A and B are shown apart, each in its own frame.
Chain A
Amino acid sequence: MLRHVQRRPVLPRITPLALAILLAGPRAGRAQAESRALAEAGELERVGRHADAAVRYRGILRADPTSLPALLGLERVFTSLERPDSLVPLVRAALARDPLNQAIHSLELRVWFALGHSDSVTSAARRWIALAPRSADPYREWAFTVAQRGDLAGAKGVLAEGAGRLGDAALAQDLAQLTALAGEWTEAARQWVAVVRGNPGLLPAATGSLTRAPAVARDEMLSVLLGVGGDSTSRRLAADLLAGWGRADEAWPLLDATLPQDPQAAAVLLQRFAERAGTMRSRRSALVRGYALERLATLVDAAASERVRLQAAQAYADAGDLRSAQRMLERAGAGAETGEAVAPAMASLIRALAEQGSVEEAERRLRAWSDRLGGDDRETLREAVAWAWARRGELDRAEAVLAPDSSVAAAAVRGWIALYRGDLGNAREQLRAAGPYTGSREEATRRMGMLVLVERIAADRLPEFGRAVLALARGDSVQALVDLEQAARKLSPSGGRADVLAFAGEQALARRDYQAAEDLLSRALATDSVGPAAPAAELALARVQAETGRTEVAIRQLEHLILAHPQSAMVPQARRLRDRLRGVVPE
């Protein structure tokens, strides 16, 4: 239980002390002395001199038997010294002076608990209840002390007794917490709904307690919250839990349908939802974040609504919903004083437009906003637009977009454009200039893989190969295979033919055209079985065999690869695939 981390009653003791410091005279002097002594004791405790620290703390208690920092310090050091019993007379003395002090009563319960005297825990709790019959604190602290020894049923019994005397509402939150701690998730969900119904501000506490439920318990909890008899509170809690479990897209319709009438309360829920959806990475969560922010914008004041609409525009753009993103930008941009506020959302929109093939529109917006975008954004977006033109096959326009850009990232794009033109000489130069680290890891790996292949092709111009790579970029792998075969025919066996055939075989494997893949890879190996392309071709061939159900043949192929090319970078992958095929490691 985490209860003892929160020593809530420290504050009430500090307040009178602070007042005393403001007053001149002996009381202020005593407070300063106590403060010094506490600092010294704390330092002794920090360096592990617990016995010396205990002496200091006891000294403070001689002057003020109710000093809570000293009592709590002694609790710590006596625990380390395995002398919790030494606290008993000090706690009694403190309670004699301050019989209603909640913190000291809690301490007394902890002391008896540490000593293993469960009867004394009960007696101390009963004394406290007698002194404060209308307070829920004694029941709460008692219950959590009982829970600490693993007796959750006993702890619930304590809370039930308190509820019987003080009313159900008094300890309902504690009971729900305890039920969740006991792993009774469905019942805990029921109890938390009742708590939140009484105090909607406790929704985050309820979610915090219930989100820890294991995956196996969640569906049942949801069926309780959303089943017959469920109301807006239970559906709101279900929505909040779903968002906490990373299922924001399922949560949104529930929240949307149960937003409170009060705009302020609704805004709080929408803000919370949008923040949590923003931590997830999927397009669907970005979309529902956009919905929530759009709703939120209608509930806040004009200045805030502009900012929220820009966030919504960005969320929609991230989700690929360009129409909604533009709609939000238009509404926000109308009132925007400067472009700077709009720029991040506009950058997202331009990127999304380029990715979705609306290149003209992306380029138009890029030109219009170029001066207002940050330097990094401007370069990245130029590259995105150039890529979009290149994918369309409009290579001149792509190069024109990149003209003012001399960055290494632009060199990478230029390298690909040269490749698409079949200008392998220029492509090599540009791809080398881009280096191995430019762009995302995935893009850098793809680029370096292509550079390795182009370096092995003994030709400076090979339009068939350029057409093939462009066709691949456009997702047309059928045409790419035709062009790659044509390119291979133009090359000598040692001048890159085997490499291009192996590359073609890998592309065929990627599109699960196993027959073509096996044919191309076998031809690659027949062309050159010991050259640099051979290990990759063998690995791909083994994959084809494995994926067509010929496991033993695949294992033999992999073993051949490992034994024939022991220095190849493909060997670790081959060993791993062999292990997988033999059932030695999980799929």
Chain B
Amino acid sequence: MDDAQSNHLKAYGVTYRALQRGGRAEWLLNYRGGSFLLPADTATERDAALTGVTVEPASDGDVVAVRGEIQANNMDAVPLEKAPKVAVYVPPNAAPWDDAVTMSLEYAGIEYQKIWDLEVLGGRLKDFEWLHLHHEDFTGQYSKFYLAYSGAFWLSEMVERNQETARRLGLPNVPALKKAVAREIRRFVQDGGFLFAMCTATETIEIALAAEGMDVAAPYADGTPMDPEASAKLDWSRSFAFRDVKLEQSSAIASFSDVDGHQVNNPPRRQPLGAFTLFNFSAKIDPVPTMLVQCHRQVIPDFYGLTTSFQRERLKPDVTVLADEPGAPWVKYIHGEFQKGTWTYLGGHDPEDPQHQIGDPPTDLSLHANSPGYRLVLNNVLFPAAKKRELKT
């Protein structure tokens, strides 16, 4: 799918639905920006026509030629077997327009189910293969908007909803609730699940996992001050990606730690946006990272989120960097394995709304059907569909 593709994002939906109908597909890694080879059945052709996805008919001879080109170059063909069952961790009444993954799933037409704390702690994660987290704050501090937006209806609602859930589950406060959810998510990955997180969820789930048994939340969240020595006590062996992180002690600053290189809400440390570059992996040796970076652009304009990027020096040594900003001390897109499963983090909130502010109008993806940033999100959705034996890393 190079620039000839008229709707990159919906192409993922067409492929997903082909798999859902019981069909087979192949992901042609690095072939013309990463393409899909699907059977030319009536349902797929109709689906592509309705969604505006460009398809090119290929005869047997054409396919042989494509395979020859793949064999001779840094490309590979990965069979896709089964449409993964997708869950998105999101509050029950959240609109789909404030979460990049929900938006892209809706737009591409990929089925998913919303789950929240009660479902996660009720053991529902085992019903899914892929789980997405977006801007949830797993430290239980309401994204640290508590002071700046006090009195705002949406914040009051968020606080009330979380406190009520904690009460129903017999947990003492919201930070304890979120830690319990984080532990359950870790178990999901440990047992073979695929986790994809963006924005604040990346940084805060790591902090929540590392902060077992200690107070890392501001007094407004749990009634007690944050442990002043918390940074030194965090146990990073429990987390997926980060290590040696220093927590932000001030409850007035909407930043959690020094993981994020951009610090969008911390004026003295805020960094301007640049562009990030996707790494080029060996498709035949490293198909997993290759799948995750399939795109028709190698350099993509950066976009802010409460967590925009990840400081390189805070990454564990076994983390695979998928994209970074050359020359900058931070990276944008990372991946790793955790026991039987994998996790992938993409910094930032919305690839097509780089400055994203609370109250901004929702992003209309029909105006960004070729968005390279959103393609990265959708790579993650299809990657669990790849046949297991092909996953060499």
Question: A: which residues have CB within 8 A of B?
Answer: 1-2, 147-153, 181-184, 214-216, 220, 559, 562-563, 566, 571-572, 575-576, 578-579, 583-586
Contact = CB atoms under 8 A, between A and B. Distances in A.
Given A571-B52, A583-B106, A215 B359 contact: yes
A153 B249 CA distance: 12
A183 B250 CA distance: 13
Nearest to B365: A585
Query: Ordered nearest first, which 6 A-B pairs have the shortest CB separation?
Result: A183-B148, A150-B250, A586-B362, A148-B268, A216-B152, A150-B253
Given A152-B250, A579-B366, A585-B365, A563 B151 contact: no
B266 interface: yes
A575 B52 contact: yes
B358 interface: yes
Contact of A562 (B50, B149, B151, B363): B50
Contacts of B361: 586
Given A216-B149, A216-B151, A153 B362 contact: no
A566 B49 contact: yes
A215 B357 CA distance: 11
B97 interface: yes
B128 interface: no
Given A214-B149, A571-B52, A575-B51, A585 B107 contact: yes
Contacts of A566: 49
Contacts of A150: 248-250, 252-253, 255, 266, 268
A148 B269 CA distance: 8
Given A579-B366, A584-B366, A586-B364, 19 more contacts: A1-B267, A150-B248, A150-B249, A151-B250, A152-B250, A153-B252, A183-B252, A214-B148, A214-B358, A216-B149, A562-B49, A563-B49, A575-B51, A583-B106, A584-B106, A585-B106, A585-B107, A585-B364, A586-B97
Interface string B31-66: 000000000000000100111100000000000000
B109 interface: yes
Contacts of B151: 216, 220
Interface residues of B, number: 32
A559 B366 contact: no
Nearest to B149: A216
B252 A584 contact: no
B147 interface: yes
Given A220-B151, A585-B366, A214 B50 contact: no
Among B50, B106, B267, max chain A CB count under 10 A is at B50
Contacts of A585: 106-107, 364-366
Contact of A563 (B46, B97, B359, B362): B46
A578 B267 CA distance: 43
7 contacts: A1-B267, A147-B268, A152-B252, A182-B147, A216-B151, A216-B358, A586-B361
Contacts of A152: 250, 252
B50 A183 contact: no
Nearest to A186: B151
A575 B151 CA distance: 41
Contacts of A220: 151
B107 A579 contact: yes
Contacts of B362: 586
Contacts of B107: 579, 584-585
Nearest to B107: A584
Among B152, B362, B364, max chain A CB count under 10 A is at B364
Among B50, B51, B250, B268, max chain A CB count under 10 A is at B268
Interface of B is mostly: loop
B52 A563 contact: no
Contacts of B152: 216
A566 B50 CA distance: 9
Contacts of B253: 150
B186 to A, nearest CB: 30
A80 B152 CA distance: 42
Interface in B353-392: 357-359, 361-366
A586 B368 CA distance: 13
Contacts of B359: 214-216
A470 B49 CA distance: 40
A572 B359 CA distance: 29
Contact of A575 (B50, B106, B266, B358): B50
Contacts of A184: 147
Interface in B106-128: 106-107, 109
Contacts of B46: 563
Interface in B148-201: 148-149, 151-152
A322 B151 CA distance: 45
A559 B48 CA distance: 12
Contact of B109 (A1, A148, A562, A584): A584
Contact of A181 (B106, B267, B365): B267
Interface in B81-109: 97, 106-107, 109
A151 B266 CA distance: 11
Contacts of A181: 267
Contacts of B49: 562-563, 566
A214 B359 CA distance: 9
Contact of A578 (B50, B97, B357): B50
B149 A1 contact: no
A585 B249 CA distance: 39
A1 B267 CA distance: 6
Contacts of A575: 50-52, 366
A34 B191 CA distance: 69
Nearest to A571: B52
A562 to B, nearest CB: 5
Nearest to B13: A584
Contacts of B267: 1-2, 181
Interface string B128-152: 0000000000000000000111011
Nearest to A1: B268
B94 to A, nearest CB: 14
A559 B49 CA distance: 9
Interface string B325-368: 00000000000000000000000000000000111011111100
A516 to B, nearest CB: 30
A377 B266 CA distance: 51
A233 B252 CA distance: 30
A214 B155 CA distance: 14
A326 to B, nearest CB: 41
A184 B361 CA distance: 25
Among A150, A152, A214, A220, max chain B CB count under 10 A is at A150
Contact of B252 (A1, A182, A562): A182
Nearest to B154: A216
Nearest to A4: B268
Contacts of A563: 46, 49-50
B392 to A, nearest CB: 35
Contacts of A1: 267-268
Contacts of A149: 268
A583 to B, nearest CB: 7
A80 to B, nearest CB: 13
Contacts of B363: 586
Given A214-B358, A563-B46, A585-B364, A572 B252 contact: no
A175 B67 CA distance: 69
Nearest to B249: A150
A147 B267 CA distance: 10
Contacts of A215: 359
Contacts of B268: 1, 147-150
A156 to B, nearest CB: 11
A573 to B, nearest CB: 10
Contacts of A572: 52
A510 B207 CA distance: 55
Nearest to B109: A584
A566 B49 CA distance: 8
A91 to B, nearest CB: 21
A559 B50 contact: yes
Contacts of B255: 150
A183 B149 CA distance: 8
Nearest to A586: B362
